């Protein structure tokens, strides 16, 4: 299913901002908000995960229902999960297209990656300290 993808700040994401490798930060920033009707259409159950994919990348997220979101739109808090889907082009403004990017959402059984593993997939070396 196609969705318009949006990302932004949430107070929870902000409160864990100095603990990016924590479980709480991961849970908050990998939780995709979706309208309940869209969730129903996709056949999403509570513990399901979804894969968000577009030409820039893909990421696995959990789902939480948010009736305040219009149908056809999804939202992820600002963070490394959201940024897997954002292109590096800026239309010569310096500012990437963080909002209003399109993604395809499908159900998946893949696990949600830890922040360190996301970075490892980018070519980094996970720091466990």
Partner 1 sequence: MKVEDAICAFCGCLCDDIVVEVTDNQIVSVDNACSLGSARFLEDQENRLKGPIRQEGGEWRDISYDEAIDATVSLLLEADRPLLFGWSSSATETQAAGAHLAELIGAVIDSTTTVCHGPSILAIQEVGHPGCTLGQVKNRAETIIYWGCNPIDAHPRHMSRYSTYPDGFFIKNAFRDRQVIVIDIRKTESSDIADIFVQIEPGGDYAVLSALRMIVLGKGSLVPETVFGVAKEQLLHIANLCKKTRFGALFFGLGITMSRGKHKNVRNAIELIDELNRHTKWTITPMRGHGNVYGSNEAFTWISGYPYAIDYSRGIAFYNPGETSAVDILRRKECDLCLIVGSDPGAHLPHICSSYLAQIPTIVIDPYPNATTHLATIQIPCAINGIDAAGTTYRMDGVPIKTRKVITTRYQCDRDIIHTLYERVKAVKGHE
Footprint on this chain of partner 1 (rule: CB under 8 A): 4, 6, 8-11, 14-21, 56-57, 68-70, 73, 75, 78-80, 83-84, 86-100, 115-116, 118-120, 122-129
| Residue 43 or 56 having the CB closest to partner 1 | 56
Q: Are 60 and 113 in contact (CB under 8 A)?
A: yes
| Residue 45 or 93 having the CB closest to partner 1 | 93
Rounded to the nearest whole angstrom, what is the least distance from the CB of residue 47 to partner 1 in the complex?
25
Rounded to the nearest whole angstrom, what is the least distance from the CB of residue 105 to partner 1 in the complex?
17
Rounded to the nearest whole angstrom, what is the least distance from the CB of residue 128 to partner 1 in the complex?
7
Residue 101 has a CB neighbour count (10 Å cut-off) of 20
Handedness of CA 106, 63, 99, 56 (dihedral sign): negative
Strands in 1-129 per DSSP E? 2-8, 31-34, 49-54, 57-65, 73-77, 101-108
| Residue 36 or 124 having the CB closest to partner 1 | 124
Rounded to the nearest whole angstrom, what is the least distance from the CB of residue 6 to partner 1 in the complex?
7
| Residue 23 or 47 having the CB closest to partner 1 | 23
Q: Are 99 and 6 in contact (CB under 8 A)?
A: yes
Strands in 9-100 per DSSP E? 31-34, 49-54, 57-65, 73-77
């Amino acid at each position: 299913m196609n969705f318009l993808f949006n990302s932004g700040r949430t107070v929870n994401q902000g409160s864990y901002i100095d603990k990016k490798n924590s479980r709480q930060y991961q849970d908050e920033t990998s939780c995709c908000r979706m309208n309940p009707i869209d969730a129903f259409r996709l056949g999403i159950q509570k513990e399901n995960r979804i894969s968000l994919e577009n030409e820039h990348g893909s990421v696995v997220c959990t789902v939480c229902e948010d009736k305040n979101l219009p149908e056809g739109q999804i939202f992820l808090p600002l963070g490394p999960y959201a940024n897997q889907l954002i292109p590096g082009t800026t239309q010569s403004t310096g500012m990437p297209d963080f909002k209003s990017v399109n993604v395809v959402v499908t159900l998946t059984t893949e696990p949600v990656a830890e922040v360190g593993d996301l970075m490892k997939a980018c070519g980094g070396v996970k720091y466990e300290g």
